[in-house]
């Protein structure tokens, strides 16, 4: 039988943070973990939507331990405040699901810190968040960090001289950069965890073709995904993330996605990773650049 949410091991006693948990993949990830007994922090940038997501989960899972905490991944100050607030209350962190993202903004926008919005949010925001939570993750036995990437990571290599749209801006290219960066970050974090003999696993997943509000800026995507068999709904799209987060046979550096045609839909399985995502020199260079840009030095 294909792997499903029913195969998630018991999560009672474990603490999880899910970024972007107010809708889509993030909401379904949080719901599934809460249903299995995890204490889940919904890390969202909009308080009203975050509280609505919490209420939605509680209606279906009355015994759930779910809380909302404000987090804007496009703001380094917000990330610092969130991480400090979490550490003041919690002494352990079993799961960090780096899920939140924005996709293919039609025109160039910058974060409050001056980064191109997609690279700044999807990669640098999660890099800074992970870095600020890393000491707690490392002291929690068998913790996992799941970074959500995309099929679009395959679109090409990382051009370090244009990561901030210094030369030109393309919605698709900028999104592709951020999703490739997610995988390079995951692999470099895995290398460092292994080098430190840590039990913390750094892994990644992608949802294939899943109908969420990420496609709001791409009408052509919305049209394609409305066709039969070309996309799946969020409960199915979240399965690779949940597998990476909870399955017993997952190893550091693994990458999961749907096993169907072109990895668009289907139950979770090992996913294809481009040669650019496996470039160790790019991973190290990106890590060093990310530390410089965010001012966050990771403790590993």
pLDDT band at residue 219 using 50, 70 and 90 as cut-offs: low
* pLDDT of 212: 64
Tokens 């091991």 -> residue: 9
Cβ–Cβ contacts within 10 Å for residue 131, how many? 22
> Angle at which helices 47-60 and 24-35 pack, to 10 degrees?
40
- Please choose, from the candidates 111, 126, 117, the residue with its C-alpha nearest in 3D space to the C-alpha of residue 79: 126
Average pLDDT over residues 244-273: 96
Reduce the DSSP state of residue 199 to 3 states and report it. coil
**pLDDT on residue 216:** 45
CA–CA separation, 43 and 71 (whole Å): 5
Q: What is the pLDDT of residue 210?
A: 74
The pTM of this model reads 0.94
Is-catalytic flag, 169?
no
Per-position b or e across 208-225, b if 16+ CB within 10 A of its CB: bbbbbebbebbeebeeeb
Which pLDDT score, from 0 to 100, does residue 299 have? 85
Maximal C-alpha separation, the chain? 52
**Could you report the per-residue pLDDT of 180-215, keeping only the tens digit for each?**
999 999 999 999 999 999 999 999 999 998 776 654
User: pLDDT tens across 276-297, in order?
Assistant: 999 999 999 999 999 999 999 9
CB 29 within 8 A of CB 99: yes
Which residue in 135, 121, 152, 111 sits closest to 43, CA to CA? Answer: 121
Which pLDDT does position 214 carry in this prediction? Answer: 55
Name the more confident of 300 and 59.
59
What is the CATH code for 10-294? 3.40.50.720
Q: What is the mean pLDDT of residues 43-61?
A: 98
- Looking up tokens 């999703």 gives 179
The residues spanned by each domain of the chain are 10-294
The alpha carbon torsion through 156, 76, 192, 285 (nearest 10 deg) reads 40
Indicate which residue of 175, 243, 255, 256 is catalytic. 175
Q: Round to whole Å and give the CA distance between 19 and 22.
A: 8
pLDDT tens, 266-279?
999 999 999 999 99
């Amino acid at each position: 039988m294909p792997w499903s949410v029913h195969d998630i091991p018991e999560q009672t006693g474990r603490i999880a943070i899910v970024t972007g948990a107010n809708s889509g993949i993030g909401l379904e990830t949080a719901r599934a973990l809460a249903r299995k007994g995890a204490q889940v922090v919904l890390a969202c940038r909009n308080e009203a939507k975050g509280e609505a997501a919490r209420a939605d989960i509680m209606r279906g899972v009355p015994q759930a331990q779910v809380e909302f905490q404000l987090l804007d991944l496009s703001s380094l100050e917000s990330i610092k405040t969130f991480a400090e607030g979490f550490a003041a209350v919690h002494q352990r962190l079993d799961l960090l699901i780096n899920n939140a993202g924005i996709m293919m903004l039609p025109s160039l926008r910058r974060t409050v810190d001056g980064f191109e919005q997609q690279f700044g949010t999807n990669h640098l925001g999660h890099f800074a968040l992970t870095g600020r939570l890393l000491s707690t993750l490392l002291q929690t036995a068998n913790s996992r960090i799941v970074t959500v990437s995309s099929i679009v990571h395959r679109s090409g290599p990382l051009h370090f001289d244009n990561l901030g749209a210094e030369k030109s801006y393309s919605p698709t290219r900028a999104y592709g950069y951020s999703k490739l960066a997610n995988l390079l970050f995951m692999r470099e974090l895995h290398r460092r965890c292994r080098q430190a003999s840590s039990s913390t696993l750094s892994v990644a997943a992608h949802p294939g073709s899943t109908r969420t509000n990420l496609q709001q800026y791409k009408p052509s995507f919305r049209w394609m995904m409305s066709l039969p068999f070309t996309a799946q709904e969020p409960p199915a799209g979240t399965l690779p993330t949940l597998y990476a987060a909870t399955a017993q046979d997952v190893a550091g550096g693994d990458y999961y996605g749907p096993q169907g045609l072109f990895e668009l839909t289907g139950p979770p399985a090992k996913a294809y990773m481009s040669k650019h995502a496996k470039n160790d020199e790019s991973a190290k260079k990106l890590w060093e650049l990310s530390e410089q840009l965010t001012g966050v030095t990771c403790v590993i």
